Structure 1
């Protein structure tokens, strides 16, 4: 009886293993669907278009949304809607929110390392080092949120019975052209300073390597960053950037990912409503310590005069 039972068990085990093997062979690969990130949601491109993203060897990786002008306008609307709440939050709170993003990036380190390796033709070890540097940079900017005001603001000496105080305020909605070559470290280096200082962002991902940027949208959606604070578009950089540079409700533009010809075209378009323009640098070393330049680039200075002594408690701002 026991022998017969044993034979049956062996036979059943073999059949189960054989069935599992056939099932595994018959399974279809489940490819990831990449979408835009606008207003805290994941829409497909309004036009329904996509384009093929390949690795450094030309192997197909995914289809990315090909954003239209309508997608760009929707992103600006979402960024403007989110600006009041984000800029009105305390600097300390913004720092906490940004740090939470770094925590979540750390938890998805392997995914981002794989995407960076494919995008930039790096080994997994080199890509992992890029991801580590990006997470560290995000933490670095999170720590600056409640300190930048001490660097660029302060009391000014004036002649007369007045206090004269300067304090920084965010510029508003900032369009960011992400770096073309540094798909993740460069991306973080241009997004984090914009939102750390209370601005909201419309980001155009690297045209050649948009997947890390689109995956960053998934992290932001499940973090504490309010919807609309960061909006991520993919597609042809020149096609999306042109209407954003001319958009009357965009206050500034970072041209980090623009070549010389495109940068000149966008600067001309941006002049129509006096946008702040951060020009691309001849050589951007994204591995170097960033300094405060990208934070101060999108800050305005408010100066307040306040009487001292017995002149009363009211003051005026200019």
Structure 2
């Protein structure tokens, strides 16, 4: 009896809560840290990116309008589902990043804990970042944080899961929707995360994930007029200035300006920096006695 021929898996994009093929039909080979073949990933195109932005814009009113408590519940549910697939993610991080199993376990555990951490912040942002302003006059003045809108995320190229979670979770915890360009060389943990999101309580379109070449996709994302902000942490260093200029042309909020290609230490405790980055502050004046 002959040996069975292995069936190579070809993954899909994650757009609008669905898993479409790339419109171009292109795929590329994904290897592990030792050069061994793992799977085929879709080579996202400019049209795929446009579809992802459209899906994110469509999902924004519902997600930003949901209660902060509800958003926290959804994020916590994602952490629960990641916990249930922990061994799969450990194996994928080990293969993608070439780290020992114990190191991969620690990274996956931190990624799960990070979802929980940001879930806990959803209903506290208004209290911590908002204010009742003292004014000299017969008025009430309040400042309240509001989500920016659609956020384009150029995911970290080296940290395949923890870095990805550390960029996506704060953006959606604050009520934004996202279009994510995953790591080209290490996309499998991101693709598996999209499968978790697709079967969780997260509404379709809140997170949209495109795999492919960031050098090809990043300029279109930065220049897209319906994207309100971009996170450049995973941007190729050679494109840093070009992307900032493209974002300025459409008056985008830019996070990570001047730091393209320079990834932080994702294992450090998260702070408020990314939660603040994609929030606007609206001040309301109201006459007393009305």
Q: List aligned pairs for 1:63-74, cutoff 5 A.
A: 63-74=40-51
Matched residue, 1:60: 37
Separation in structure 1 between the aligned mates of residue 85 and residue 5 of structure 2, nearest angstrom: 24
The residue number in structure 2 matching 1:121 is 98
Aligned equivalents of 2:265 and 2:230: distance in 1? 20
Name which of structure 1's ranges 35-44 and 276-285 shifts more when overlaid on structure 2.
276-285
Pick from 16, 36, 39: which aligns with 2:13? 36
- From 131, 134, 140, the counterpart of 2:111: 134
Q: Matched residue of 2:267: which SS?
A: coil
Question: Are the counterparts in 2 of residues 263 and 279 from structure 1 also a CA contact under 8 Å?
Answer: no
Please identify, of 244-253 and 256-265, the stretch whose mean Cα deviation from structure 2 is larger: 256-265
Match of residue 266, structure 2, among 283, 286, 298: 286
Aligned position for 1:51: 28
Task: Tell me the SS of whatever aligns to 1:99.
Answer: helix
Q: Alpha-carbon deviations, 1:49-94, whole Å to 9, x = none?
A: 0111111111111111000000000000000000000000000000
Which runs of 5 or more structure 1 residues have no equivalent in the other structure? 1-21, 313-318
After TM superposition, the structure 1 = structure 2 runs for residues 1-318 of structure 1, keeping only pairs within 5 Å, are 22=1, 26-279=3-256, 281=259, 282-308=262-288, 310=289, 312=290
Counterpart Cα distance in 2 of 1:234 and 1:302: 35
Give the structure-1-normalised TM-score: 0.88
Q: Distance in 2 between matches of 1:260 and 1:97?
A: 34
SS of residue in 1 equivalent to 2:5: coil
- 8 Å CA contact 2:76–2:115 kept in 1: the answer is yes
Give SS of 1:291's match: coil
Q: CA deviation at 1:224?
A: 0.2
Q: Residues 153-191 of structure 1, C-alpha deviation per residue, up to 9 Å, x if partnerless?
A: 111111101110000000000000000100000000000
Please state which structure has a larger fraction of its residues in helix: 1
Q: TM-score w.r.t. structure 2 length?
A: 0.96
Which stretch of structure 1 is more off in the superposition, 197-206 or 259-268?
Answer: 259-268
Q: Give the number of equivalent residue pairs.
A: 287
Q: Distance in 1 between matches of 2:228 and 2:272?
A: 20
User: Does structure 1 retain, via aligned residues, the 8 Å contact 2:234–2:263?
Assistant: no
Distance 2:127 2:134 in 1: 16
- Partner residue in 2 for 1:6: none
SS at match of 1:270: helix
